[in-house]
Structure 1
Amino acid sequence: MAEDKVHNRIAVLRADRKVSRRELAEVLGVHYQTIGYLERGEYAPSLALALRIAAFFEVPVEKLFSLEEFPPLI
């Protein structure tokens, strides 16, 4: 069975909060390139990392990550 791609809204929330990849990575304790990999869907986060990212943005994890593409915000 093929691995499911994990879609996310990290870039959208990051831009909304004016947080750089480096700043987010520092808060989360990961390398800044990890944030780029996550945003591009090249890397699926662990459950712990997904929960830490959701907590940082103060949103439920299911509002940030999905196995299905998110509809456009506009």
Structure 2
Amino acid sequence: MKNRIKVFRAMHDMTQEELADAIRVTRRTINSIERGKYNPSIEVAYRIAKTFGVTIEEVFCFEDGEDTEDRR
């Protein structure tokens, strides 16, 4: 799942550690989510979105495995 966590962190001048502390997870968890190695639970996704004052959909984008170019 793609996400814009790094973009939102930069907009809020926030480190991975600061975000992790704010939503009560480890920095390693934030790093893994940002890199697309781990999909967060709905609760963690909600806490991330709430921290930035946006919706979950603004932070995360579900991919179904197909490239949009292939769908045309």
Output the TM-score relative to the length of structure 1. Answer: 0.82
Equivalent pairs: percent with the same residue? 42
Provide the alpha-carbon RMSD of the alignment: 1.2
Pair member with larger Rg: 2
2:3 pairs with 1:8: yes
Runs of 4 or more consecutive aligned structure 1 residues displaced over 2 Å after TM superposition:
none
Unaligned 5+ residue runs, structure 1? 1-5, 70-74
Determine the structure 2 residue equivalent to 1:63.
58
Instruction: Report SS of the residue matched to 1:30.
Output: coil
The structure with the greater share of residues assigned to helix is 2
- The TM-score, its normalising length taken from structure 2, stands at 0.84
CA distance in 2: counterparts of 1:60 and 1:29, whole angstroms = 19
For structure 2, the residue ranges without an aligned partner over 5 or more in a row are 68-72
Report the equivalent of 1:72. none
Instruction: String of CA shifts for 1:24-71, please: whole Å, max 9, x gaps.
Output: 0001110111111010000000000000100000001101101139xx
Task: Indicate the SS of the match to 1:44.
Answer: coil
Which of 14, 33, 43 is the matching residue for 1:19?
Answer: 14
Aligned residues: 64
Residue identity in the other structure for 1:20: T
